[in-house]
């Protein structure tokens, strides 16, 4: 790699960091209005149905031990319940309570009110998503 390439890569890394910081700040603004942390909002957003802690942690891109802290708080707030898993006696299944379902709907609405990428068209956002997935070596199959 040449010096110019290394400098360009460094600059790209800085831009991605700045974008991440901006997105996180906007996300925090939206979720704190609902009385949530970003991690709690992430858990609620990913709760598309009953799932295990391991499944939720994978969707949140974190370790199960980190998700446990978040779920414990959401359980204390009566937004999520732990129930026996229907097919695995060793596992618990996480399920949204009616209050949790209601707050999740409010969260999803808050997340769609103003786009995070205001300066980009949908086509540009799609291209950025595709490029980031390639850079992260992730599968580009829809829904993954």
pLDDT digits (tens, 9 = 90+) for 98-111: 999 999 999 999 88
pLDDT bucket at 144, cuts 50 / 70 / 90 = very low
d(CA 23, CA 2): 31
Average confidence (pLDDT) over 115-131? 87
Is residue 7 situated within a structural domain?
no
Determine whether 84 is exposed, middle or buried from the number of CB atoms within 10 Å of its CB (0-12, 13-18, 19+). exposed
> Is 16 a domain residue?
no
Distance separating the N- and C-terminal Cα atoms of the chain: 32
The string of pLDDT tens digits covering residues 65-112 is: 899 999 999 999 999 999 999 998 888 999 999 999 999 999 999 888
Could you tell me if 30 and 45 lie in one domain? Answer: yes
Q: Is residue 4 part of a domain?
A: no
- Contact indicator for 44, 103 with CB cutoff of 8 Å: yes
> 125 and 58, same structural domain?
no
- The predicted pLDDT at position 109 comes to 92
Is 92:29 a contact under the CB 8 Å cutoff? Answer: no
Residues 6 or more apart whose Cβ sits within 8 Å of residue 111: 30, 45
Average pLDDT, the chain: 90
Q: What percent of the chain has pLDDT over 90?
A: 66
Q: Are residues 89 and 44 in the same domain?
A: yes
Q: Tell whether 39 and 63 lie within a shared domain.
A: yes
**Residue 51 maps to a domain:** yes
Residue pair 89/98 in contact by the 8 Å Cβ criterion: no
Residues 88 and 101 in one domain: yes
Q: Give the range of the structural domain holding residue 126, as residue numbers without chain letter.
A: 118-144
Residues 65 and 89 in one domain: yes
pLDDT, tens digit, for every residue of 7-61? 999 999 999 999 899 888 888 988 999 999 999 999 999 999 999 999 999 999 9
- Answer yes or no: do 40 and 107 share one domain: yes
Instruction: For residue 108, give the CATH number of its domain.
Output: 1.10.10.10
Within a domain: residue 8? no
One domain, residues 64 and 99 = yes
Query: What's the pTM?
Result: 0.77
Structural domains counted in the chain: 2
């Amino acid at each position: 790699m040449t010096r110019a390439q290394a400098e360009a890569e460094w600059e790209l890394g800085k831009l991605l960091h700045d974008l991440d910081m901006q997105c996180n700040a906007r996300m925090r603004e939206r979720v704190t209005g609902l009385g949530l942390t970003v991690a709690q909002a992430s858990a609620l957003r990913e709760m598309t149905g009953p799932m295990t802690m391991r499944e939720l942690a994978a969707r949140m891109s974190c370790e199960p031990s980190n998700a446990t802290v978040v779920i414990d708080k959401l359980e204390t707030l009566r937004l999520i319940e732990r129930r026996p898993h229907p097919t695995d006696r060793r596992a618990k299944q996480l399920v949204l309570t009616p209050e949790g379902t209601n707050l999740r709907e409010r969260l999803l609405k808050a997340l769609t009110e103003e786009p995070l990428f205001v300066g980009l068209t949908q086509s540009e956002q799609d291209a950025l998503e595709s490029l980031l997935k390639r850079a992260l070596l992730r599968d580009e199959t829809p829904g993954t």
